[in-house]
Amino acid sequence: MNDRLKILGIFALLGFIGGVLANILYHTVWPWFLATFPSVLTAEWVLSGIAGALITTCMVVIWVYLSGPSGPKEAR
């Protein structure tokens, strides 16, 4: 269980760093992106795709966190 918590902590740290980078990009790149591609980013299929990707990622993270080990570990 200790290894699982380490991996979860590493992903939490990576997620934090990704969130900080996303915030910086949102304030710098997003206004230019909206001015350059206004019709694509407001299209329903793009927003649905982003929402589907986020929901699927959350479901996989929950499944991996709740699933136990697949079997006993072999001694080498």
How many angstroms separate the CA atoms of 65 and 1, rounded? 10
Residues 6+ positions from 65 with CB-CB distance below 8 Å: 4, 8
Residue 71 has pLDDT above 80, yes or no: no
* pLDDT at 69 > cutoff 80: no
Q: Is the pLDDT of residue 27 over 70?
A: yes
Mean pLDDT within 34-57: 83
Q: Is the pLDDT of residue 31 over 80?
A: yes
